[in-house]
Amino acid sequence: MTDLISFEPATGAELWRGPIGDADREVAIARAAWLEWAARPLEYRTETLRRFANAVRASADRFADLIARETGKPLWEARSEVDSVIAKVEISISAQAERTPRRRMEGALGARTAIRHKPHGVLAVLGPYNFPAHLPNGHIVPALLAGNAVVFKPSEKTPASGAFLVDRFHEAGVPEGVVRLLIGGREEGIALAANRDLDGLLFTGSAAAGVALNRQFADTPGRILALEMGGNNPLVMWDVTDIHAAATIAVQSAFLSAGQRCTCARRLIVQDGAHGPLLEEIRKLMGRLIVGAPHDQPAPFMGPLIDNDAASHVMDGFLERVLKGGVALHPMTRPDPDKPFLTPGLIDVTDVARRPDEELFGPILQVIRVPDFDHAVAEANATRYGLAASLVGGSPDLYDRFWANARAGVINWNRPTNGAPSNAPFGGLGFSGNHRPSAWYAADYCAYPVTSVEADQARATIGQGLRD
């Protein structure tokens, strides 16, 4: 049996290995275990998941260390991710109570209308590598609360973090058949999505993979498909008064997690002629950022990209834009050609013809100068994506204009593009999602509503249309 091997991005050392699984086998096991889990009272499932939160809390240091080593992200950021995994349980419990409560309404002649929700059955969860615990957990916890069984395939780049997460579910008392771990790569993901015994699939990842899944599910409308994809996110800075604060927001938006967040700003839109001091302040702050390994001291702001292929792709994207006429304001560099570390890059692409509408998943921020605010909004919307957008500066009236016209699922004011709270819906449109927002609204796609009209006794009359 072939093993899947995970390597540490910062060092290249082998971190973990495990046998590649069989998608059909895992779905069959989950199917056999599902009914008993679904039949458990909600209170039972709730308490089981609270024990899961405690199990993660008890192993938080080990979990954070593993995530940091496997993704390359700084240890402080990995600890924050573990905290999000723990917090997700209570957030999901509250969200389910609000989004999918049981309701009863009185009707005529003693009848009642009841609204309740049923789980779908067996749901697949495909997780990404950038948040290998938090993002799949954001699907798994509400799915389990609703009474579903789950087959979870972590990214082939972060299987160790996925396996650790699943072990915590089992440690807490979630039956092994109810949460299954599928180790594998692209082939296993395709096989899992193709299994007709699945009742749905919950996905976080690239737009290309999400579009492929959408096509694959097109002939089975009875199966739920929730897609969280990427973004070519705009950050508009207009009439800024605090240059340093604006520069800090730009750096946070573009370079957190080495730019490997779906909500990271990819395009910085500024007013032509008034942009000089702002860009200079951003450049100064970029020059101070520490890029390093997860456990370095002093702690780095950002670590490496996930692997050398990813780093090469982003570097090539930066150089391609320079060759097409872009002006490198802060050149991106690769300090070690054998490791996926990149320094952040800032490039003015205003004069680049036919700018590619793509999500460069790394620490690159593209500057676009425009003459007025109407052009800024038009430029912000000049993308197939629609995940996050932010306006920094301006008046409340200007923000109202921006909010009303920006095409995105997360729209912020004077905050980074990657400021999305867990107690609110999270999702986008276009190539960013299929109108199945997650986070607070995840309960919506983990169960379906059933409307019932009920009466204690059968009563019926036909008042018209009968012969005497």
Positions annotated as catalytic residues are 228, 262
- Which pair of tokens denotes residue 281? 């302040």
Residue 117, H or E segment: strand 112-119
Alpha helices in 256-307 (DSSP H): 276-288
From CA 238, how far away is CA 261, in angstroms rounded?
A: 24
Which of 236, 255, 256, 284 lies closest to 414, judged by CA? 236
Contact 16, 159 (CB under 8 A): yes
From CA 16, how far away is CA 14, in angstroms rounded?
A: 6
Contact 381, 373 (CB under 8 A): no
From CA 356, how far away is CA 378, in angstroms rounded?
A: 16
What are the residues whose beta carbons fall under 8 Å from the beta carbon of 245, sequence distance 6 or more? none
From CA 422, how far away is CA 441, in angstroms rounded?
A: 10
Contact 315, 347 (CB under 8 A): no
Q: Which residue has the tokens 């739920």?
A: 224
- Which pair of tokens denotes residue 175? 């039956």
